[in-house]
Amino acid sequence: MATPLDQQPVTALKGVGPGLAKKLSQLGIASVQDLLFHLPLRYQDRTRITPIGAAQPGVEAVIEGTIRGADVVFGRRRSLLCRLQDNTGTITLRFFHFSKAQQAGLKTGDTLRCFGEVRRGSAGLELVHPEYRHTTTAMLADDGRLTPIYPTTAGFTQQRWRMLTEQALARLDHGLGQSLPDALLPDALRVSLADALHFLHRPPRGVDLKQLAEGVHPFQQRLAFEELLSHNLSLRRLRARLQQHSAPAMKAPGQLSQQLLQRLPFTLTGAQQRAVHDIVTDLAKAQPMLRLVQGDVGSGKTVVAAMAAAHVIGHGYQTALMAPTEVLATQHANALSQWLQPLGVRMALLTSQTPKKQKAEILAGLQDGDIQLAIGTHALFQESVCFHRLGLAIIDEQHRFGVHQRLALSEKGQSEGARAHQLIMTATPIPRTLAMSAYADLDNTIIDELPPGRTPIQTVLVDNSRRDEVIERVHKACREGRQAYWVCTLIEESEELDCEAAEATHAALSTALPDVRVGLIHGRLKPADKNAVMTAFKHGELDLLVATTVIEVGVDVPNASLMIIENPERLGLAQLHQLRGRVGRGSAESHCVLLYAKPLSHYAKERLATMRETNDGFVIAEKDLELRGPGELLGARQAGLVQFRIADLQRDAALLEPARHAAETVLQQHAALAETLIARWLPDGERLAGA
Ligand code: ADP
Ligand code: MG
């Protein structure tokens, strides 16, 4: 039996020695199969000669004609012009770089065959630096197939890619391993993997090039479908593996959480009650909970976390709550201590700033179980941290953490052979399509209701020339006892510049508004100083807080009801929504002023208009995905999660649901196939799932 292609190393191919194999492996290509998945970026039609009279600007074409003269001209740039004629017209070949020998080789009366992109030039239609040959056969692909152009790096010519893929294609009948049964494919995509790959490497002439360029050709969609299905399988397997472990089943009704409920100054919204109910139901099982709670900004996720923690602590287990920043961790510690300390819960805040001695005490307390609730940043992940009996790990604002960190955390929760339950809370609603692919390993609860008494935030767009009016508006609000944020947005390349901008704005506003107490917070302040500023603002000792986007997530000061965001056009919609969510938390009517710099691109206008039109985080998240694509939305740190070879979540959204469905069937009826698919499409899949 032939060796399957995923087990044939590239060195099995003719002309591939150790040197080339090493270069290929740097591109992630180790096996013959990997080579088959290295698909062309685009195609050239070299299957026929275009009559010169029919050449169209902007189109790549093979052209053949007789040389009518070649001269060096001295225009703006010295160039060699060669006129080529056939019986339908003439065209000019233009060279900016050329040798004497080259010039001498272009003799009047010779026949040339060229390939290049036709452009409109000063002398009519031109080919700039075309490939050309005197011999008349070499330029033409005589097999009637389009010429593939592969993604490449230095040292790899297209010729070499073609040579490699040609050999790989010849081995296709050795087998790609078990294939997806036709019945699992959507009707329009029923073609074998081998046929689809063959087609995409060497499409026949006459195929719809536009469709191929857009990635919507049925053969491309066939691959995208299988890829999405395989990703879904891998996430499900991840989940299944985690859930093979046992977890402490906390079945008794939580007395501590009931006490907390009675102490709260408000009653939970229906959506919060449902979320708590989902969580408590999961915690009662002897399997680790893997639940994602999504709720729009201000929907009250913190108290849901507190209820979960109280339930677990009431059962004699510890809880760890992780936040992405020091400011947030501190704020959570404040909120939770206010609620839980009166009930006798022993808690600690652990960040990278915690003094050594205190840290040692906390570590000891976590290890012997004296501390029941630990709140912190990723410092809680560190190896030196050991828990006595960790029952629940809560991750707030999940989009800042990746799958790997989530797994590391689950390891931490390993005690007495059992794993901790996991609760993940996102600040930014995740579009449905993304949730289905990137978070298929999690159960999902949505908090779709805001606490009562909130008035929707009014958002306006104001251009920079009206800055003085905006400052006056801030002045008025502060004099009336309200508080405001002035956000200087992140200049992507440099956090430094960003802090400087905030410092300058702070100075300018302090001067312009002498009777307003203006504070400043940015990423370069020491954590202790940041906390001091936040506390002062929270206690109403500052009226106006100039900030960078460090206040983006989670900060909660209900009395703040006005926010100015400078250069909002620089931010993504989800991020703007997060920022804006810092106001509108109290009962006063809140306003958000998007102070943009003119002129705005059409695209920026459309985005900012969305902010004005809706306060619904889910609508905004969908729009953001549509405008920016999934990579950006999840943030660079998580981009690895959704790196697809073929599929594109936006373009292929319609395939997600059928792929998810098919994944279920594969697991139920073709368990071995699942492994093949995961190995085929996720080279790191094993590593991830084994963690
Ligand atoms: P987020 O979901 O953005 O993390 P928070 O947990 O910070 O929201 O809650 C926002 C504010 O709403 C907090 O001040 C919180 O105390 C308050 N809050 C939460 N739940 C309720 C409720 N059911 N009724 C009234 N206020 C609530
Ligand atoms: Mg929050």
Instruction: Identify the residue whose C-alpha is closest to ligand 1 atom 27.
Output: 451
With a 6 Å cutoff on the Cβ, whether 266 touches ligand 1 is: yes
Cβ–ligand 1 contact at 586 (below 6 Å): no
Q: Any idea what the CATH number is for the domain that residue 138 is in?
A: 2.40.50.140
pLDDT higher than threshold 90 for residue 462: yes
Give all strands (DSSP E) within 296-403, no chain letters. Answer: 318-322, 347-350, 373-376, 390-396
294 lines ligand 1 (CB under 6 A): no
Q: Considering its fold, how many domains does the chain have in total? A: 3
386 shares its domain with 474 = no
> pLDDT-based confidence at 641, cuts 50/70/90?
very low
451 C-beta closer than 6 A to ligand 1: yes
Least confident of 156-160, 218-222, 558-562: 156-160
Q: Where are the alpha helices (DSSP H) in 593-652?
A: 602-613, 617-628, 630-634, 636-639
Relative to the CA of 267, which ligand 1 atom is closest? 23
Give the number of the ligand closest to the Cα of residue 302. 1
pLDDT in tens, 85-104: 999 999 999 999 999 888 99
445-457 per-position pLDDT tens digit: 999 888 988 888 9
Q: Are 410 and 502 in a shared domain?
A: no
> Is the CB–ligand 1 distance for residue 429 below 6 Å?
no
Mean pLDDT along residues 654-664: 91
Residue 636: other Cβ atoms inside 10 A: 8
DSSP class of 2: P
Q: Is the CB of 303 under 6 A from ligand 1?
A: yes
Closest residue by CA, ligand 1 atom 22 = 451
Q: Is any ligand 1 atom within 6 A of the Cβ of residue 577?
A: no
Residue 640 has pLDDT above 50, yes or no: no
Residue 227 has pLDDT above 60, yes or no: yes
Calculate what percentage of the chain has a pLDDT beyond 90: 48
- The 3-state secondary structure of 641-653, one letter per residue: HHCCCCCCCCCCH
Please check whether residues 409 and 473 belong to one and the same domain.
no
Segment (H or E) for 84: strand 78-86
For residue 231, is it within any domain?
no
Mean pLDDT value across residues 102-115: 91
pLDDT value for 408? 62
Confidence of residue 634 (pLDDT cuts 50, 70, 90): very low
In this predicted model, which residue has the larger pLDDT, 397 or 488?
488
Angle at 215 between CA 211 and CA 216, to 5 degrees: 60
Confidence of residue 1 (pLDDT cuts 50, 70, 90): low
Q: Are residues 608 and 470 in the same domain?
A: yes
Mean pLDDT, residues 645-671 taken together:
88
Question: Which of 98, 121, 145 is the last residue in one of the domains?
Answer: 145
- Ligand 2 center from residue 297 Cα (angstroms): 7
Question: Percentage of the chain surpassing pLDDT 70?
Answer: 90
Distance 249 CA to ligand 1 centre (A): 28
Q: Which of 32, 363, 258 is nearest to 167 (CA)?
A: 32
pLDDT category of residue 156 using cuts at 50, 70 and 90:
confident
359-415: per-residue pLDDT in tens?
999 999 999 999 999 999 888 877 778 899 999 999 887 655 555 566 666 666 666
CATH number at residue 329: 3.40.50.300
515 Cβ contact partners less than 8 Å away, ≥ 6 residues apart: 479
Distance 610 CA to ligand 1 centre (A): 25
Domain boundary among 614, 634, 662: 614
Ligand 1, pocket-test mutation among 260, 400, 556, most atoms within 8 A of CB: 556
CB 233 within 8 Å of CB 687: no
Task: Tell me which residue has its CA closest to atom 12 in ligand 1.
Answer: 300
pLDDT at position 219 over 70: yes
Q: Is the CB of 65 under 6 A from ligand 1?
A: no
Residue 23 lies in a domain: no
For ligand 1, is residue 215 a contact (CB within 6 Å)?
Answer: no
**In this structure, is residue 668 part of a structural domain?**
no
Q: What is the pLDDT of residues 26-67, one digit of tens each?
A: 888 889 998 999 999 889 888 888 999 999 998 889 999 999
pLDDT greater than 90 at residue 216: yes
Q: Taking 90 as the threshold, does the pLDDT of residue 303 lie above it? A: yes
What does the alpha-carbon distance between residue 112 and residue 65 come to, in Å, rounded to a whole number? 6
Mean predicted lDDT score pLDDT of the chain: 86
2 pLDDT more than 80:
no
Residue reference for tokens 């977890």: 247
Q: What is the pLDDT of residue 164?
A: 94
User: 252-256, 502-506, 540-544: which has the highest mean pLDDT?
Assistant: 540-544
Give me ligand 1 centre to Cα 397, in Å: 15
Q: Does residue 549 form part of some domain?
A: yes
Average pLDDT over residues 151-156: 83
Question: Is the CB of 45 within 6 Å of ligand 1?
Answer: no
Residues 564 and 481 occupy one common structural domain: yes
- Integer Cα distance of 90 and 52 in angstroms: 6
Q: Looking at the structure, tell me whether residues 404 and 263 fall in a common domain.
A: yes
The confidence band for 638, taking pLDDT boundaries of 50, 70 and 90, is very low
Q: Are 564 and 595 in contact, with CB atoms under 8 Å apart?
A: yes
387 and 340, same structural domain? yes
Predicted pLDDT of residue 688: 41
Question: What integer pLDDT is reported at residue 415 of this predicted model?
Answer: 61
Distance 574 CA to ligand 2 centre (A): 15
> Residue 556 C-alpha to ligand 1 middle, in angstroms?
8
Does 317 share its domain with 385? yes
Mean pLDDT (whole number) for 644-667: 88
Tokens encoding 399: 């989009």
Ligand 1 contact, 284 CB (< 6 A): no
Residue 678 — pLDDT band, cuts 50, 70, 90? confident
Domain end residue (candidates: 85, 120, 145)? 145
For residue 150, report the distance from its CA to the centre of ligand 2, in Å.
46
Q: Whose CA is nearest to atom 19 of ligand 1?
A: 300
Does some domain include residue 176? no
Residues 74 and 124 in one domain: yes
The CA radius of gyration of the chain, in Å to the nearest whole number, is: 31
Q: Is 598 exposed, middle or buried (0-12, 13-18, 19+ CB in 10 A)?
A: exposed
Q: Is the pLDDT of residue 331 over 90?
A: no
Residues 475 and 589 in one domain: yes
Whether residue 208 lies inside any domain: the answer is no
User: Where in the sequence is the domain holding 53, given as residue range(s)?
Assistant: 46-145
Say yes or no: 330 and 398 in one domain.
Answer: yes
Are 399 and 496 found together in one domain?
no
Structural domain includes residue 442: no
526 pLDDT exceeds 70?
yes
Q: Does residue 272's CB lie within 6 angstroms of at least one atom of ligand 1?
A: yes
241 is a domain residue: no
**Cα 562 to ligand 1 centre (Å):** 18
